Structure 1
Amino acid sequence: MCGRFAAGDMTQAQMLEIMRGFLDAPFLADDAAPHVTGYNVKPTNQIQMAAMIHDEPVLTTARWWFVPHWHKKPVPEWKATTFNAKIETAPEKPTFRTAWKSGRCAIPALGYYEWTGTKGNKQPWYITVKTNQPCFFFAGLHSYMGDGLRTCTILTRDALPQIKDLHARTPVILTSDQVEPWIKGEIGTTEAQNALGAGWDGQFKFHPVRKFGMKDNGPEMIEEFHE
């Protein structure tokens, strides 16, 4: 977890406009590889992220499967499962600790998926939060590789009581007032581990959805479904 999420179809220009509402400064865009859109975003996809790059707030993209900057072999040869990172341990783990200090990012999403039930008969659920914004932001970490590629991970925490029956962990979802201080590195480790994502309990919306495959990617994926 989180291994699938919905990004919707927002363009770079639309996302730039959204980001300008979170920071009291112009938000720049770079010419990184195009990001994946739709409702079935998977690990290793190129996804949008907002981060401070050379002290400027930038909207860019990154490969969703974190690889530390010190890994010198080709990125696909990194075998550890690092599309998620636990917020409780990321600050000290060699894989993530540099990014924790200087590589924080915010990853836009509409919602994410979890599965319940027995193996072979899993029921997918779509989970989002009540917000007036057109999207929310996962707290993430990113790295910059020697060949110019960026990679990223989504931080997770213990699930809040409202959704703990769906999964024991949940992605860390930033509140609107946390986006700017998070990507600027202004939130300390203890505060981050205690406060990030903790304010959403009672604000989640979730429902079962139709079972879907790897190639499914339409808005019908997030529609409520009961057998």
Structure 2
Amino acid sequence: MCGRLVGGNLTQAEMLAIIENFVYGKTSIDEDARQPATGWNIKPTQSVSMIRQKDEGYLLTTARWWFVPHWFKHDVKDWKQTTFNARIETAAEKPTFRTAWNHARCAIPAIGYYEWTGPKNDRRPNYITIQTNVPMLFFAGLHSTLPDGTNTCTLLTREPSKQIAHIHNRMPVLMTQDELNGWIRGEITTTVAKNSLGMGWEGRFKYHEVNKIGRDDDGPELIEPIE
């Protein structure tokens, strides 16, 4: 699973400048979107930045990180299923995610994430990112727009890379540049997505244990290696 993201302090304008080097088409900013959460401890139900297709290009907007299907007619807080993550192996067939899989794919940009390991009464956080020249990662996701206009999203997860399998038995789907465009545009088939999407970073993961993180803690010191 992936339950905490690290967004850093990039502005949307800075994100846009990076994104435009990765996508094949013009990207615009949704001026009416809610401000995304930033910082080093982003949690489910907060608003996160999201890239989705818009006409022939892309839109940088925001969504509530806890997916609610488009057909749900009540307040998002009334949705009781745990859907901030979705398993890539089964999402295409699940009634909750099926429509989004076929018609509403997205990417969630961040700089890394946390995963916990160890015994249940002494779980220790690890900061995980990728060795790359670009200060941004792209997590594969699905999104929805509810009748009241609220955008929601989920992060896809899969079996982990061998390099980080000792930390957790799942990892978020982190896309390469070619995967990013193909995924958002719906050009990556379900079979290819299940088999290989997000598996192109083997050997390039960077990770280390960090100090325990409180619910409301924030700041760049959260991702510093534990001494």
Q: Tell me the TM-score range normalised by the shorter chain.
A: over 0.9
Equivalent residues in 2 for 1:1-227, closer than 5 Å: 1-30=1-30, 31-226=32-227
- How far the C-alpha of 1:110 sits from its partner, in A, is 0.8
- How far the C-alpha of 1:53 sits from its partner, in A, is 3.3
Equivalents in 1 of 2:76, 2:103: separation in Å? 20
Equivalents in 2 of 1:101, 1:92: separation in Å? 10
Match of 1:124, SS state, is: strand
Equivalents in 2 of 1:24, 1:195: separation in Å? 21
Match of 2:17, as an amino acid?
Answer: E
- How far the C-alpha of 1:55 sits from its partner, in A, is 4.8
In the superposition, the TM-score normalised over structure 2's length comes to: 0.97
Equivalents in 1 of 2:24, 2:179: separation in Å? 13
Q: Deviations over 1:177-213 (max 9, x none)?
A: 2111111111110011112111111111100001110
Match of 1:100, SS state, is: helix
Deviates most, 18-27 or 215-224:
18-27
Deviates most, 165-174 or 189-198:
189-198
Equivalents in 1 of 2:147, 2:56: separation in Å? 19
- How far the C-alpha of 1:18 sits from its partner, in A, is 1.2
Equivalents in 2 of 1:213, 1:151: separation in Å? 25
In the superposition, the TM-score normalised over structure 1's length comes to: 0.97
Equivalents in 2 of 1:205, 1:24: separation in Å? 28
Does the C-alpha gap of structure 1 residues 55 and 151 become closer, same or farther in structure 2, counting only changes over 3 Å? farther
Give the conservation status (yes or no) of the 8 Å contact 2:24–2:57.
no
Match of 2:152, as an amino acid?
Answer: T
Equivalents in 2 of 1:26, 1:51: separation in Å? 12
Match of 1:93, as an amino acid?
Answer: K
Equivalents in 1 of 2:55, 2:183: separation in Å? 16
- How far the C-alpha of 1:25 sits from its partner, in A, is 2.2
Match of 1:125, as an amino acid?
Answer: N
Identity of aligned pairs, percent? 56
Match of 1:200, SS state, is: coil
Equivalents in 1 of 2:152, 2:56: separation in Å? 19
Equivalents in 1 of 2:182, 2:117: separation in Å? 34
- How far the C-alpha of 1:54 sits from its partner, in A, is 4.6
Equivalents in 1 of 2:121, 2:89: separation in Å? 31
Equivalents in 2 of 1:208, 1:16: separation in Å? 31
Equivalents in 1 of 2:4, 2:122: separation in Å? 18
- How far the C-alpha of 1:101 sits from its partner, in A, is 0.6
Equivalents in 1 of 2:47, 2:29: separation in Å? 15
Gaps of 5+ in 1: none
